[in-house]
Structure 1
């Protein structure tokens, strides 16, 4: 393994230590959450995973798919034996494999670095993972370039094979190609839903948001700014239901509003905005600028509060306080 990869492994160990994780800890200590089986990631990945499952049948390999939060959303196994072995160390749908919960591995460290990596045997931070080796590859959306997930192949250390890395890279490429196809189809469906909502509401504010698309009618344009686009994405991103309601949010214009949103089949969200007559004061220019800066940095750091606070030159305590004061969710 090259020196640069060893440096990446060492840095990963340091991050795990700083998070308070110990080598004797286990991923089974951390909770399991529900996953969205209708997500665009799973829709794009399922045919590719089916193909890999057939290729690896009868072997000691397993393929793991994690979402953008490093949470496992699909798993495929070459045999019942490998399923049982990885289940012992906490590999389960809905469990998060970040460096804070599982140390150095090819899901957590790819999630941290946003680049492919192999983690072999003793390079794992958690002791119970040291008998495994794994390759991981990020899944970047081909339009937005944001991370959509991580594809991983895991096996007992003795089963390593130089063909696994190119196999995984090709599978990751195939998934991102399918994400691109989804985007092209989804944009047409999103436009249709946006137009229908606008006609039904007779000019009341409507916004439609997808990866690289923002549509808004004239009344929404007077209320909603770029910072709100980021906040609206955060409110609806990862939502598991087709429809939802948010009773109160603060817009960057200073107005409070309620939101109703719907997710068309092709992806994205159509959001209907209704102002609340609750005496909310309009934010002053300084507060609006502060809010825009915080939302922008949160988006740039993909929700990471530590990185956002450092970029803004404030403590995390101050960041949380200002987020609460300015109506920023997260």
Structure 2
């Protein structure tokens, strides 16, 4: 039974990925710091669900603790490492930038050092669509320039990509970076848009709508996202013997076993349409507080998911009506509404 070591298993995406892998027959070792960036009770609830499976075990600790990270990964002896834990949130990076340096740079370095020491078979790490920054050529493709980050969060994630590429080159660690696009779904983070919309609406409050609603996002259902990661686990990059043979559609590095892959729904949805679908799922109107664009935000995101499809045969396709409905049903049950 293959063993996968996942950082951030008490988090939104890590929880869903762990469930996906456990259902597929993997042994999963989770690592999470249980930080108070948002409701710790929700994080503990996720871990409690995972711990019902005997093939799941959990370690509580911080990524910044290099000794603990190394010891934990050594003892787990995983075939695969999936590094998801990070200080997330574009807007929070304006308030507490130091936490992004400590978690996303130092913490990621500690995971890569451990991966190097055990010579892991495949290292997969989370990046973000935010690395496309000021790029306006859409849909976003992995080969596009990503040297215009608009927030420190995006800058740390782009730095992670560079760090991982150097380790893949130096130590021949097969490494896949995946870029997420506006993930939503059950057990989501309270700081994400859908969670805030539903919470405010059910409390009779208005929601904040930035740039007066003139925004669009490639909303990606969490079930599709973790399915994509699951399939990419089986596609470790191999360094090309002849770089000239790398297909045009592949982001494989010319000098390292390293690849970047978008995981997105492959279409843009207007923010106002997303809100309207939320109203339908709730069966009630939502009052809107129209606001200007926030610092570091972008008007639109849109993923080209061809590379993911070419590698795995899978393309995310969950309609927002279905995904929002799943979230609203979960929210009502979880909060006993």
For the aligned pair, the TM-score class normalised by the smaller chain equals under 0.3
Q: TM-score, normalised by structure 1?
A: 0.25
Query: Structure 2 length as normaliser, TM-score?
Result: 0.25
Larger radius of gyration: 1
